[in-house]
Chain A
Amino acid sequence: MTHNIYLYILVMASVTYTIRMLPLVLIRKEITSPFIRSFLYYVPYVTLAVMTFPAILSETGSIWSAWAALLTGIFLAWKGKSLLQVSVCACLMVFVLELFLV
C-alpha cells in the first residue's frame, strides 16, 4: 500500500491541533481546586526537565561534550541569561569541545 505524504501531514496536523485545542476550548472557567491548580503549575517544569535529561546526553558525538553543554546551560540559565544566549552557548560548547573529542 502506498501512502500519500500530504495525507500523512494532514493526519499529524489534525491530531496535534486537536490535542492542543480541546482543553483551551472546553475549560472556560477558572479551576478552583488547589490541587489541580498546583498540578498544572508544576506540569511545564516536570515535562521540560524530563525531556532534557538524559536525552541531551545522546544528542552529540561524545557524552562529555553533552555534559558540558548541559552544565553550561544550567549555569547560564541560573545566571538569568536569555533564551538565546543559553541556547547558543550550549551549542558552541559542543562545537568547540568536539573539535578535540571526536
Chain B
Amino acid sequence: MNTTNKNWFLKGLRDGIPISLGYLAVSFTLGIAAKNAGFTPFQAMLTSLTNNASAGQFAGFTLVAAGAGYLELAVMELVANARYLLMSCAMSQKLAPSTPLLHRLLISFDVTDEIFGVSISVPGKLNPFYTYGLIAIAAPGWSLGTYLGVLMGNMLPAGIVRALSVGLYGMFLAVIIPPARKSRVLSAVILISMASSFAFTKLPVISGLSTGTRTILLTVLIAAGAAVLFPVKEEA
C-alpha cells in the first residue's frame, strides 16, 4: 500500500467509527428480527456480513419467518435493495475511470446508505482505500451487533430497543441535512421527498405497494424532476 492509499485508508477508519457504532445499535434490533425468523447468532451474523443491507435484511428475515420460497426471497431482495443500483451508479461517477476491476468488485460489497453517503462526500475523485477503511470498521460493527441482537435481544428492556430503533434515521439525517443547509434547492428537494413519501403511505392503490417499491418510485420521480428543473452545475 503506498502512502496516499494508506492515508486514505486511515482516514476511512477514523470516519467509519461513528458509522460502526451506529451500525452496532441498529443491527442489534436487526438481530432480534433474525431471532424471530429462527436464525442462530452465527447465521444472523453471516447474513449481515454477506448482505450489509438494513432494509433488505429486515425484509428477508420477515419472509424467511413466513417460510417463503427462494425465488420469492430473491424478488424481495431485488425490490428492497434496488436503491443500491442507483447509489452504485452515482458511486461509479465518483471513481476515476481508470479504477481497476478488482477495486470495483470490492467496493460493491458494501455500498450501504451510510458508506455511500460518506464516500461520496469526499472532494474530488474517490480513492477506493478510503471506502475500504470505512468498510473495515463499519462492517464488523454491523455483524457483531446482529450477533449480539440474536443472543440477548430479548434481555434488553423494551424502552432501550425502541430508542435504538431511531438510530439509523439519525444517521440518515446527519448525511442529508448538512449539505442542504448550503443549498435551498437541496432543502426543497428533501422537504418534497418527505412530504411525498408521507402522501404515498396514504394514497389509495399506491399505499398498497411495498415500502421498497415506493422508495424507488419516489427516488426516480423526484430526482429526475430536480435534475430537469435544477441541473447541477459542474464543480470546478
Pick the contact of A20 from B43, B111, B170, B215 — CB < 8 Å? Answer: B111
A81 to B118, CA, bound (A): 14
Which of B67, B104, B169, B175 is in CB contact (< 8 Å) with A90? B169
Partner of B93, one of A11, A31, A47, A66: A31
Cβ of A63 to closest chain B Cβ, rounded Å: 12
Q: Which residue of B lies closest to A66 (CB)?
A: B166
Closest B residue to A28 using CB positions: B97
- Residue-wise, chain A 70-102 has the 8 Å CB interface mask toward B (1 for contact) of 100110111011111111111110110011001
Q: Which of B77, B178, B186, B226 touches A78 (beta carbons < 8 Å)?
A: B178
Chain B: which residue is nearest A21 at the CB level?
B108
Q: Give the distance in Å from the alpha carbon of A25 to the alpha carbon of B97 in the complex.
A: 11
B178 CB to nearest chain A CB (Å): 6
Min Cβ gap A91→B in Å is: 5
Is B173 within 8 A of A86, CB to CB?
Answer: yes
User: How many A-B pairs with Cβ below 8 Å?
Assistant: 298
At the interface, yes or no: B117 with Cβ under 8 Å from chain A?
yes
Contact of B169 among A11, A34, A52, A102 (CB under 8 A): A52
Number of interface residues of A (CB under 8 A): 77
The CA-CA distance from A102 to B77 in the complex, in Å, is 34
Point out the residues of chain B lying under 8 angstroms from A56, CB to CB. 166, 169
Give B contacts to A, CB under 8 Å: 17-19, 21-22, 25, 38-39, 43, 46-47, 50-53, 55-57, 60, 64, 67, 69-70, 73-74, 77-78, 81-93, 95, 97, 101, 104-105, 107-109, 111, 113-114, 116-118, 120, 158-160, 162-181, 186, 189-190, 193-194, 196-198, 201, 211, 214-215, 218-219, 222-224, 226-228, 230-232, 234
What are 18 inter-chain pairs, A to B, with CB distance below 8 A?
A8-B64, A19-B88, A24-B111, A28-B92, A30-B97, A37-B232, A38-B232, A39-B223, A41-B232, A44-B175, A45-B186, A47-B83, A49-B172, A60-B163, A80-B178, A86-B174, A87-B18, A102-B162
Interface residues of A (CB under 8 A from B): 1, 3, 5-9, 11-13, 15-17, 19-25, 27-31, 34-56, 59-61, 66, 69-70, 73-74, 76-78, 80-92, 94-95, 98-99, 102
